[in-house]
Amino acid sequence: MTENPGVLKWSARLTSVALLAGCVVSNDPPPAEPSAAGGIARNVILFIGDGMGVSTVTAARIFDGQSLGMTGEEHELIFETFPHVALVKTYNTNQQVPDSAGTATAMMTGRKTRAGVINIGPEVRRQDCQESLDQELTPLGVIAKERGKSVGVVTTTRLTHATPASVFAHSPERDWESDQYLPESDRAQGCLDIAYQLTRFDVGGGLDVVLGGGRAEFYGGEFDGNRVGGQDDLIREWLDAGSNRTYITTRDELARLRAAQQPGIRPAQQPEELPEPRSAQPSRQQVLGTFSRSHMTYVAERPPDTTEPTLAEMTSAAIDLLADDEDGYFLMVEGGRIDHGHHDGKPGYALLETQAFARAVEAALEQVDLEETLVLVTADHSHVFTIAGYPVRGNPILGLVVENDVTGEPSPEAAVDATGTPYTTLGYANGPGAVADQPRPAPETGTGAVYQSHIPVVSHRIDGSLDYSETHGGEDVALYGIGVGSDQVGGVIEQNLIFDIMIQAFGWDDGD
């Protein structure tokens, strides 16, 4: 790979920012654009911070800066230094405030659709299998494979979750991750669960690198999985279908694979019955990694001896594995648990996930040549997450509001509301932290605290249980671009135009 002086500038700037710990303001000029924006991209990497709205980016910027010893407000996350920025409208065709399935579909297919469906046309009703079968939209993962590119998927959620599934699958119901909730009548009509579609994806020989969580969706009950039908060992079937395939389940195995660049690593956690990956390699190596039973562990809850890789480690490994393709690659990287932290009403969790997401972007920039690669960073939607009050400069972003006094100096005590109760800078319009009691109690603070919200909301999950989680927000999200084709990023755009930006960067006139 050609050494990229632009990336070296980026790395040097990050180092200088870290050394500024304790400084109030950085007067460094913005970095020069490291490459010409025009031309044809050999590679495209799309980073999606699930739920990473503008307020989340702002709070994470302060959080990350404060973790480096700064006051925080002057800090920049790596993607905030990109030369091209746009605002993106995220609504679905049937919802003002979107869900991840519809938003991911917009980015992967160039078409806005209903909420809850994956790569299915907007006329199709959710969960209507029959309607969906002749209204399937072609996602970029398929287009790229058809045109000779390698394709990779990296996520901290289940690999069958809405955003990663949008790269390769079709479903009128995002919750049909395994056959557990897929009705037999719909299966008989020809609808397939998402895990099955992943392991049977055969366009261009199959997906090349797939790393994330969700192991249970690929196994039946015999292996403590969620599958209930006849296909209860999809991993075995995937391995049997290609002699160039490797399955891994731990961080150490991923590191060894990245170092060795060869198949044959047998995961210790793999069921005894699964065959060893064959040593013969008639074609480029394909890697499937499931590092957790469901979603990967929150950064805030990861034990020191975790067997799960970080998002940055998965991203770096994916780029190494995909970079061998002379024709280039498309890679989608999702920081999926930003969204989950907000749904849980825990901004500390969401900000740690955003920080890890930014580290993954940084890792990618250190590896790619921006003269031949387009890197986009965006969110699929926002959350009802606010930064409020009048806290002093450098006030801990996860703390109580401390205001300035009449002279402009910090007060000795936390500010209080009209009832005499302190309050936090961060909060939610709705969610599990809704306060029903009056007077309102003093809020909890810290990484694991559920922060206060205004309205208690409830919905029904597909299994019939009640969900009291916080909801998405409907405001625009940001799109940041750097590298080949990034000059198309700008203005206020519809979310489906992100697909067009990627297609044009590859030099393809359309997605057909």
> How crowded is residue 36: how many other Cβ atoms within 10 Å of its Cβ?
12
What are 118-142's pLDDT values in tens digits?
A: 999 999 999 999 999 999 999 999 9
Bridge pairing between strands 385-387 and 150-158 = unpaired
Residues labelled catalytic: 100
Which of 115-119, 148-152, 284-288 has the lowest average pLDDT?
284-288
Distance CA 424, CA 409 (A): 19
Angle at 446 between CA 441 and CA 449, to 5 degrees: 60
If pLDDT is split at 50, 70 and 90, which confidence band does 229 have? confident
Q: Structural domain boundaries of the chain? A: 44-209+222-231+293-304+314-386+471-505
What average pLDDT does the segment 275-288 reach?
A: 58
Which of 10-14, 77-81, 305-309, 465-469 has the lowest average pLDDT?
10-14
Q: How much is the pLDDT for 36?
A: 52
Return all residues near 155 (Cβ < 8 A) that are at least 6 apart: 161, 163, 164, 211, 212, 213, 333, 334, 336
Q: How much is the pLDDT for 11?
A: 43
What CATH class has 44-209+222-231+293-304+314-386+471-505? alpha beta
Closest CA to 46 of 169, 139, 154: 154
If pLDDT is split at 50, 70 and 90, which confidence band does 283 have? low
Distance CA 257, CA 254 (A): 5
DSSP 471: P
For residue 13, is pLDDT > 60? no
Q: How much is the pLDDT for 38?
A: 75
* Long-range contact pairs involving 222-227 (C-beta distance under 8 Å, separation at least 24): 223/271, 224/293, 225/178, 226/177, 226/178, 226/180, 227/178, 227/179, 227/180, 227/195
For residue 19, is pLDDT > 70? no
Do 247 and 238 form a contact (C-beta atoms < 8 A)?
Answer: yes
Three-state SS at 227: strand
For residue 415, is pLDDT > 80? yes
C-alpha dist (Å) from residue 129 to 32, 135, 142, 226, 307: 50, 10, 21, 21, 38
Looking at the chain, the whole-number percentage of residues with pLDDT higher than 70 is: 88
At 474, list the tokens.
Answer: 């409907």
Q: How much is the pLDDT for 18?
A: 36
What average pLDDT does the segment 56-73 reach?
A: 98
For residue 185, is pLDDT > 50? yes
